[in-house]
Structure 1
Amino acid sequence: MTESRHADAVAAFEAQRPRLLAVAHRMLGSRVDAEDAVQETWIRFARQELTSIDNVGGWLTTVVSRVCIDVLRSRSARPESLYGDHLPELVVTEEHDAAPESNALLAESVGAALLIVLNSLEPNERLAFVLHDLFAVPFEEIGRIVGKSSNATKMLASRARRKVQGAPRPGARAVAGRAVVDQFLRAARDGDFEGLMAVLDPNVTSRTHTARSLIISTGASEVAAAALRGGRAATTERSAVINGEPGIIARSTSGQIVGLMACAISEGRIVDIVALTDRRRLEALEIPSEVDGR
C-alpha cells in the first residue's frame, strides 16, 4: 500500500472508530476487549484495497461484529477460565443513610446493568439486538453477518428484546436484597457461622477475582468459612450497590478500598457472590468522591 493510500485508509477508519468502539463495547462488555476487537478490524481493513469497498462503514461494522461474535463464542466454550479475564466493568455506589433508589449515582449503573443483561444472551441474539436496537442497522445487513434470513434475524432481536425488557431495573435487586446482605455482613463480623448459613443458599457459588487468579468456592459451608476468615481482617465494611446488585465495600484502616463483593439474592438467600480484591482493578474504578471519602 502506497503512502497516500495508507493515509486514505487511516482517515476512513478513524472516521468510523468511535462507532466501532461503541458497537464492540456493547457486544463484549469491556473497553479493553472492545479496543482489541477494533484493532483486529483495522488489521483486516488495512489489507484491503479501499477502492474495492463500496460502503466502508457497513464493511467495518460487519467485520467488527464478526470479531465480537468469535470472542463471545470463545468465552462460551471456556466460561470458567475466561470469566476472570472478562470481569464486567463495575459501577459502585456506597450506601450511607439514603436509600439507594434515591441516590443520583445509581443512574450511572444503567449502562453497566444493560451489559450484564446482554451478557446473558446468545451471541447471535446479542448481535441482533445491539446492531438493530442500539445502532439502527437494518435486519437484512445483520442477517448477512450471522448467516440468517431477515425474518430469522428479526426473531433473534425480538427474543433478545423480551429478555432485556424483562430484566429488573437497576437497583431494584439491591433494594430488595439489602437486608440479606446486612445480615451476612453482621454474621461475618461476629464470627457467627450459623448466621451465615441462614442467609446462604446451600448451592451458593463464590468467585473471587484476585490479582493472580480466580478463586471459586461452592456450597454454603465453604463460602461461610471463607467469610469468617475475611471477617477477621482489619477492615471496615459497608453496604453498597454494585452494577445494580446488593453488595459490600471493604476498606482498610486508612480508608483505601481493598475489596468489593456483589451478591445475587433469590428467595431471601444469597445464591451467587462475585468478589474483587485485585488492587489494580480496584484502583481503576471510577468511584465518586463521596464514596471514597475525598
Structure 2
Amino acid sequence: MLGSSMSTTRVLEAADLEDALDVLDRDPVANAFVAARVQVAGLDPWRLGGEMWGWYDDAGLLEALCYAGANLVPVCAGPEAVRAFADRARRQGRRCSSIVGPVEPTSELWSLLEPGWGPAREIRACQPLMTATEPCADILPDPRVRRVRRDEIELLMPACVAMFTEEVGVSPMSGDGGLLYRARVAELVTGGRAFARFEDGRVVFKAEIGAVTDRACQIQGVWVAPDRRGQGLSETGMAAVVQYALQEVAPVVSLYVNDFNRPARAAYHRVGFREVGAFMSVLF
C-alpha cells in the first residue's frame, strides 16, 4: 500500500497480476486486446512484448493501466492517469507504432504527446466498437468459410499483406522483410483462429480472431478480394466467423471499424453487430 496522499505510476510486476486483471475485467470488450496478452503472458515485459504501466490513486489502489509495447494502449484511464502515462511516455521516448484505445483517454493522451511525438502519419479519430452476442438470424453463414490449415499459410499471406497495407497504409513486409508479420499470421493459423474462403487456390474472403479471453474475443483483418467486393461475401463470411466464435470461443464477439468505412459498418450491422463505443488510433 502506497502513502495516502500520493498517486503514482510504475511498471507492474508479477505480483501485481491479480490487481491488473481486475482492472482489465471492468470492460472485457474494450480491454480484450490487452487482457488477452496478459492472460497468456502475465506481466513479464519480455513475454508480454512491452511494459505494463499501472497508475495508483491516493489510497494506493491500482485504478488504470497502460500497455506500452508496439502499441500504446490506455486502459480504464481517467484524466489524472492519462497525464501520468503521458509523462512516462515522454520521458521514455516514442517506441510504439501506434496509440490505440477508447476515444476519450486516447485523445487526451495524444494531445499531451503530440508536441513531442507529432506529427502522426494518420489519425483515425472515431472507430466504432461493435459487438455481437448471438448468431445472425437473417444471413446464412457461408459454408465455404473455414479454418485455414497450416499448409495454406503461403496461400493466405498475400491476402493478409493486401489487407494490412490497405488498412494501415504501409506494408507489413518492410523493415524485417515481414518476418514478424509472417510469424503472427502463422500463430493465428496454428491456433485455429484464421478463417478464409478459397476459390481456385486464392483467398476471396478472410478474417481472424485476433484477441481471445474467456469474456470476449475480437475479430480483425476482415478482407474481401477487390474483384469480389459488393457480392455479399463479407456478410456471409462474417456470419460464419461469428457463429464459430460464439460457439467455441467467447460469449461476446467484438470488432472496431473506421467510421468512414460505411459499407463495412452496414455489413456488420446486417450480421448482427451493434455499436457500443468507439476507439481512436494514432498511427506513426
Which protein, 1 or 2, shows the higher relative CO under an 8 Å CA cutoff with sep ≥ 6?
2
* Higher strand residue share: 2
What TM-score comes out, normalization by structure 1 length? 0.28
What TM-score comes out, normalization by structure 2 length? 0.28
